[in-house]
Amino acid sequence: MSAPNFPPLIRYTAPIVALPASGIDTDQLFPARFMTTTSRAGLGELLFHDWRHDAAGAKTSHRLNRMPPGGPAILVAGANFGCGSSREHAVWALADFGARVVISSVIAEIFAGNAVRNGVLPIVVEEAVVQRLMACDGGDLTVDLEHQRLTTPGLEDMPFAVDGFARRCLMEGVDALSWLLGQAQDIDAFERDRRNGRGGGGGC
């Protein structure tokens, strides 16, 4: 079984980076014109490129430009983070930038799935919790995935829910593709049943 391309995530402590806007879409996270890359590595420089660079390409004073390369960081964002395009480049850039946790009251489904597969934990909490965390902007937050708790000085611990499989993949370093290939017997059986006219409908 192959190992995933990320280290396990069990407890993670990093400064909160508050991004209060709602609907931060994947075009903001990773502008389309950079998707001509055929690589997944080294994309952190392009994360939020058009927020972090002016029209002439010079770096702006955006706070992300003042953060140490490679992180760590926890993004706490307005609702509907990661909406729009399915581009996994958004997550590759985020992971390379060094942010392994994203917290919002709504995280777009495709983005969340991409995140887990790249060792980034998407956490959905109520908007009130998001607001409380944003008020601690710049302060350290500890994400305890084992006990599913958020801890930051000055606030009571906050529980969070997470999909059981996502939790296992991140904590135990389960590689999703290897896991899927491990189900080959069931997949074979499904295809066999279909060929024999049993089960599985569809257009085929």
Partner 1 sequence: MSARAPRTLFEKVWRNHQVRRASADAPAILYIDLHLVNEVTSPQAFSEIAERGLAVRRPDLTLATIDHAIPTLPPGLDGLRPFVSRAARDQVDRLQANAARHGIAFLGWDDPRRGIVHVIGPELGATQPGMTIVCGDSHTSTHGAFGALAFGIGTSEAAGVLASQCLPQRPPRQLLVDVQGVLPRHVTAKDLTLAIVGRLGASGGSGFAIEYGGQAIRALSMEERMTVCNMTIETGAKTGMIAPDETTLDYLRGRPLAPSASEWAEKSRRWLELRSDDDAVFDHRVTLDARGLAPMVTWGTTPDTAIAVDAIVPAPASADARRALDYMRLEAGRPIAGQPVDWVFLGSCTNGRLSDLRSAAEVLRRGGHIAPGVRMLVVPGSEQVRREAEAEGLDQLFLQAGAEWRLPGCSMCLGMNGDVTPPGQLVVSTSNRNFVGRQGPGARSILASPATAAACALAGAIADPRDYLERPAP
Per-residue binding string, partner 1, 139-178, x by CB under 8 A, is ------------------------xxx--x-------xx-
Beta carbons within 8 Å of 176's beta carbon, 6+ residues apart: 4, 116, 117, 169
- In whole angstroms, how close is the CB of 183 to partner 1 at the nearest point? 6
Stretch binding partner 1 (CB under 8 A), from 94-102, 135-143, 148-156, 196-204: 196-204
- Both tokens of residue 157? 């611990």
Between 117 and 132, CB nearer to partner 1: 117
What letters, b where the CB count within 10 A reaches 16 and e where it falls short, cover 102-129?
Answer: bbbbbbbebbbbbbbbbbbbbbbbeeeb
Provide the angle, in degrees to the nearest 10, between the axes of the packed helices 164-172 and 109-117. Answer: 30
3-state secondary structure of 49: helix
Positions touching partner 1 (CB under 8 A) are 2, 20-23, 25, 27-28, 31-33, 35-40, 50, 55, 78-80, 83-88, 91, 106, 108-110, 113-114, 117-118, 163-165, 168, 176-177, 179-181, 183-184, 186-187, 190-191, 199-204
